[in-house]
Structure 1
Amino acid sequence: MMRLRSIRRLIAGGLAVAVVSGCAGIPSSGPVTKVADDGGLGQSAVRYAPARPLPGATPEQIVRGYLDAMLAFPASSRTASAFLTRRAARDWVSSSQVRIYSGPEVGGALDVDGRPSAAEDPSEPVKVRLGFTEAARLDRQGRYARRAVPAALTYTLQQVKGEWRITDPQDGLLVNEKFFTDYFRSFDLYFFDRPGRRLVPDPVYLVVGDQLATTLLTSLAGGPAPDSVESMRTYVPPRTGLRPSVPVSDDGVADVEFTDDLADATDTARDHLSAQVVWTLRQAPGVEGVRLLGGDTALTAGGDEIQPVQAWGGYGPSTARGRTYAVVENRVAEIDDGRIIPISGRWGKNARGAELVAVSQSGVAGVLPGDDAVRVTSRDGSAPLTVGGNDFIEPDWDSDGRLWLVDRAAGGTRVRVVSDQQQVQIAVPGLARLDVTSFKISPDDTRYAVTAGRRMYVGEVVRDVKDQVLGLGLPSRVFTTVSGPRAASWSSPTELSFLGDSQAGVQIYQVQIDGSRTTSEVARSGSLLPDVRARGLAIAQGGTGTLHVSDARRRLWYLPRGGSWRMIDTPPATGLSYGR
């Protein structure tokens, strides 16, 4: 058995702050205590134990107390169930979803005919209306969907042994925005693409705490989202075959057990199952390795029954170092901080007037003058291929050496894939109607991102089991709080960087692909981009390395790590891009 690093020491928590502060109309009774550790995930360091129903509470007070009880941390529905009738508590599925709200308003009690009720007759039920703004919703596995719509629920209450109790709780939990901000964090569930070659991260929001490893694996066992079945698959047995908890030992080993015997599973299936579990659980603080059992069968990584969290890296995105490129004085050049270095080969001597280029280890592609043709060659400029079209935008290479070309055809936006001197037009339902201005394939080759009409969209790359690209899935709009998003580029498999408008001019922002969070590059680097009307963006994946932008005057700017923005003294440049 390999030796593992011990669990990282827990970080001391900050000052206790009541979870329910700022939640209008909801009482904050119940003990609040400080947690010794925030788990290293930056969450609130406060435990909150809500009060149980008080004797003689009115229907309105019961509803308010019920809402408060759902804000318990560590997360538990036990106290909330005390506000329900026995039958309602038994039937309530608190784990089915999470609705995130603001501005709750509890109305007065009404009788069954909708008239104000004095609630004096214990034999008669009453109704209490709860109005709120629903900010977002999480499904059973934690996938985020923005809502931002007015909503309302009407609870029916009846007396049980002289006390009012709710008979019809809503599906799932209701939590306020402060609770969501304090205690939920973004994680990735890992599934495979259809060929089984690539791990695909699926972002979710889960409550942090001691049970995080269990929650992560339970969500993973729920499988891919229904709208992703054409592009994702899982090797993890369903929830019904999962032991109820994933304990983590003092030396950082997470024990995962499935009731299904995996003795007859193929080596490929075992490896894929292990990869999904290890990549998902390694996000839990303190987990250094995974012991995985299926019945009496232990799964291994390299012969070790304790699989280290670094295992199965070959299924992840390429870690090859990328570089920034641009066209300067009709030559394709690498931009290394403040230096301009023409690439080797023919493109470094003559770009043939191209102003848009894409560079990778696989080759170079340049959009020729007039935007009606793309010249594709090997990296040194040999084996040329010319692809005709109309109004090409910047091409993009994926990590498998495929070139993606987007232009306009009679039916709208067209996408073609070039590989081994062959070009294939693929199906793009929903994308054809968009006036696409930028197109990028994710670092793991499983998704695409486009900007169109000053909006951003993300969709999935659909492949068959032989890894042939079949088409692109339907695009979903990515919500952001920033106006005019453009020049979107992948900074990780689940995050986009882009240019957007601000009071200080065009700045760089990042957004999660589920639209749950938008952040500013200023917050990361502390450096404000000068108001130069930035047009192009080149950013390293993973947020490492130097940032580059081009402006309206075709000047290049760069931001070294830990530094401030500087202009590169160079002739006018076009076609700023990031590649390998």
Structure 2
Amino acid sequence: MNPRSPRNRTGLARTTAVALATGLMISGCASIPRSGPVHQVEPPAATATEETMPAVAGPEDGMSPEEVVQGFLAAGQGQDDDYAVARQYLTSELAGTWRPYARTVVFSGAAGIQQGLEEDQVRVSVDARAMIDSNGTMQRQEAGSSEGMDVDLVQVDGQWRISEVPDGVLVPASNLDDLYQPYNLYFLADDGQTVVPDPRWFPDRPGVSTSLVRALLNGPASYLEGSVETAFPEDTALEGASVPVQDGTATVSLDVPNNSAVDVASNREMYSQLTLTLLALGDVSQVDLLAGGGQMDLGAGDEATLSADSIEVPSRQIGLDGDQLVFQQGGQSSPDGDLADTLSGQDPSHPAMNIDTDGFAALVDGDSAMVTFTTTSTEPAERVTGEGLSAPSVDTQGWAWTGSDDGQVSAADLSQPEEDAVNVDAAWLNGREVSSLKISRDGTRALLVVTDGDSAQVLISGIERDDDGAPQSLNEPYLVDTGQGAGMKSQAVWISESQFVASALTDRSAVPRLYDVSGRYRDLPVVEDGVSNLAGGNGESEIFVESDGRLRMLTGESWSPQSDSVTSTAFAG
């Protein structure tokens, strides 16, 4: 198999148990904020401290089966010595085979623990908020999701011990940030030059370097399959049991099938993916890459050829002053040259542009049609019609995207105004309202806000394209945030490859929220008069809202007025 193909680049115990059986909301699983006070949710510390780590204790004599299970669940928060305390609650046979890292169930509320039909059986039920698999991929769950498991026990020397339990641990959501840390793996966009972050959650403990490399070798998360590539050939594996880190150097020894000593370009790409992934660890400052027991040939010069730096967009925005197209920058606006009157009389809204600022899209006729035009072909061409179309997004490959109230996603090639837009396959969206759709600047992912009845979800989906770059489908998505809402529209915009901003669109007070792709977030200052539009440029210094007819920019803890006349602004993308 070609390694560059899309697939392959491709007492105490009892009280502790009761305390740990209660959890709060997981960060990133709350509703899209509409109102309320500013509330900062800080990212978890790089290393959990003794003060934040839950206390765990082994079994006491005379525990009932339910108390043994409670103690085992509590001890599942103690990762020291490969969950040595938790294994004390297991029979000696099971203690040697139980795999705590196979799966993590993140739950809220209290764990329900009931005796089964037999004295030696216990049933555990939880309100599941997320699942983390052995590769660190988190799957957040729909509100109301539950997870149950049956636990069998036997008496050993007169004391109850667990003889059968599923692999994995249960973690209260309130403890997640103390026990786990999100890390980005890095894969490659189709151009082979841009890297794409793939967030994973792993226990914050020694040896996480090994978990990261194994996950990287196993390829991207399912929502990115076919959207990103990997330089590692299929069946590449670690030589040895770990990735040791000593004096700041992580030594990665690989078994690479059919490794070519002279394929320096592929070697450097593999090295880049590993380096970008591992340098996020506080104890790693460099990576030593071996294959077949020897140094992998990386050629001369800078060994890491790829960078995780964000793709920057122009600092000026496209917007509307009445029906006139204008550029907005530095608190000033100017007509968009020969294109200023292109949409006059067509009831335009939500103009968008490409990164070269020479290709454009906009909604017209009350959001019922999307038109496209360029600096060389200024006559607007109607490309998509539908009900309640979302604000267009123009990707780096020259395609203008929009979604509709019935879940149809469409994309039009700006360079081919006479051609019909393509319908992008996304069966999972059928019948759901696409409130917002923005394509990442690397062209690999769609950021969507989707409403279904009274609920709203923030999703990221990988884009599959044909060999010419034409969009074909959106993968089953990664759920970043979900919650209960009032059915109002919401919007989300990228500010880098790994961060975005989202808010409800409402004339009441609103609290936009700044996310990273792992789902962690921080509430931004309240916008008292509501939000009717969001725009995001290069990082936190270029976040704008439209509120009560005014364009405002985030400056520290306030929103500074920028214009009283320019509306519907958007940065390139």
- What TM-score range do you get, normalising by the shorter chain? 0.7 to 0.9
Distance 1:471 1:149 in 2: 28
- Give the aligned partner of residue 520 of structure 1: 523
1:65 corresponds to 2:63: no
Which residue, 313, 326, 329 being the options, matches 1:333? 326
Counterpart code for 1:479: D
Q: 2:465 aligns with which of 463, 466, 481?
A: 463
Q: Secondary structure of 1:394's match? A: coil
Cα distance change on mapping 1:100 and 1:20 into 2, 3 Å: farther
CA distance in 1, matches of 2:211, 2:536: 33
| CA distance in structure 2 between the partners assigned to 1:501 and 1:129 by the alignment | 44
Q: Measured at CA, do residues 408 and 497 of structure 1 come closer, stay the same or move farther in structure 2, by a change above 3 Å?
A: closer
Aligned partner of 1:174 among 130, 145, 170: 170
1:183-220 C-alpha deviation (Å, 9 max, x unpaired): 21222222234664543322221122332322221222
Question: 2:255 matched to which residue of 1?
Answer: 259
Alignment partner of 1:416 out of 400, 411, 423: 411
Structure 2 residue 110 is the aligned partner of structure 1 residue 103: yes
Q: CA deviation at 1:166?
A: 0.9
Aligned counterpart, 1:346: 338
Code of the aligned partner of 2:164: D
Instruction: Normalising by structure 2, report the TM-score.
Output: 0.79
Q: Assess if the C-alpha contact under 8 Å between 2:359 and 2:374 holds in 1.
A: yes
Write the distance in 1 (CA, Å) between the matches of 2:404 and 2:55. Answer: 59
Residues 106 and 131 of structure 1 are in contact (CA less than 8 Å); yes or no, is this contact kept in structure 2?
yes
Task: Compute the displacement of 1:223 (Å).
Answer: 2.0
The two structures have a TM-score, normalised by structure 1, of 0.78
Structure 1 residues 417 and 205: alpha-carbon distance in aligned structure 2, compared to 1, 3 A threshold? same
Amino acid paired to 2:456: R
Check conservation: 1:488, 1:498, Cα contact below 8 A.
Answer: yes
Q: Which residue of structure 1 lines up, in the alignment, with residue 349 of structure 2? A: 355
Classify the secondary structure of the residue corresponding to 1:417: strand
Aligned-partner Cα distance in 2 for 1:180–1:134: 13
Alignment partners' CA distance in 2, 1:333 and 1:223: 44
Whole-Å separation in 2 of the counterparts to 1:240 and 1:486: 43
CA distance in 1, matches of 2:524, 2:494: 14
User: Offset at 1:520?
Assistant: 1.3
Matched-pair contact (CA < 8 Å) for 2:150–2:165:
no
Amino acid at match of 1:496: F
> CA separation of 1:387/1:226 partners in 2, compared to 1, >3 Å: closer, same or farther?
same
Structure 1: how far apart are the matches of 2:14 and 2:243? 30
Amino acid in structure 2 at the alignment position of 1:578: F
**What residue ranges of structure 2 are gaps of 5+ in the alignment?**
1-11, 22-42
Larger Rg: 1
Superposition deviation, residue 257 in structure 1: 1.0
* CA distance in 2: counterparts of 1:519 and 1:259, whole angstroms: 41
- Listed one character per residue, the Cα deviations across residues 308-351 of structure 1 (whole Å, up to 9, x for unaligned) are 6xx512x76523444333112444333234322334x3124765
1:530 counterpart = 2:528: yes
Q: Once the 2 structures are TM-superposed, how far is the Cα of residue 436 of structure 1 from its aligned partner? A: 3.0
Higher relative contact order (CA 8 A, sep 6+): 2
Are residues 566 and 468 of structure 1, via their aligned partners in 2, closer, same or farther at CA, if it must alter by over 3 Å? closer
Residue 545 (structure 1) aligned to one of 541, 547, 552:
541
Kindly state the Cα deviation for residue 479 of structure 1 after the two structures are TM-superposed: 2.9
Q: Once the two structures are superposed, what CA deviation does each residue of 1:267-321 show, in whole Å capped at 9, x if it has no partner? A: 443233222212211221132221111114433656269x56xx512x7652344
* SS state at 1:534 partner: coil
Q: Distance in 2 between matches of 1:91 and 1:194?
A: 41
Whether the 8 Å contact between 2:393 and 2:401 is mirrored in structure 1 is: yes
Report the number of matched residues: 520
Alpha-carbon distance between aligned partners in 1 of 2:390 and 2:128, rounded to the nearest angstrom = 39
Kindly state the Cα deviation for residue 415 of structure 1 after the two structures are TM-superposed: 1.0
1:35 alignment partner in structure 2: none
2:296 matched to 1:290? no
Query: What does the per-residue CA deviation read over 1:161-183, in whole Å, with 9 as the maximum and x for residues that have no partner?
Result: 33322110222122222331212
Whether the 8 Å contact between 2:311 and 2:441 is mirrored in structure 1 is: yes
Letter in 1 for 2:527: L
Residues 44-443 of structure 1 mapped to structure 2, 5 A cutoff: 44-46=49-51, 50-74=56-80, 76-101=82-107, 102-107=109-114, 114=118, 126-147=120-141, 148-193=144-189, 196=192, 198-226=194-222, 228-236=224-232, 238=235, 240-250=237-247, 252-260=248-256, 263-264=259-260, 266-299=263-296, 303=300, 307=303, 311-313=305-307, 317-343=310-336, 345-348=337-340, 351-353=343-345, 354-360=348-354, 361-367=356-362, 369-370=364-365, 372=369, 374-378=371-375, 386-391=381-386, 393-400=390-397, 402-406=398-402, 413-421=408-416, 423=419, 425-430=422-427, 431=429, 433-443=431-441
State the shift of 1:491 in Å: 2.9
**Whole-angstrom distance in 2 between the partners of 1:352 and 1:368:** 12
Aligned sequence identity (%): 22
- Quickly say closer, same or farther: Cα 1:91–1:239, change in 2 above 3 A: farther
2:559 counterpart of 1:565? yes
Match of 1:9 in 2: none
Q: Do the aligned partners of residues 75 and 145 (structure 1) sit closer, same or farther apart at CA in structure 2, a change above 3 Å counting?
A: farther
Q: CA RMSD in A?
A: 3.7
**Structure-2 change in CA distance of 1:546 and 1:86 (3 Å):** same
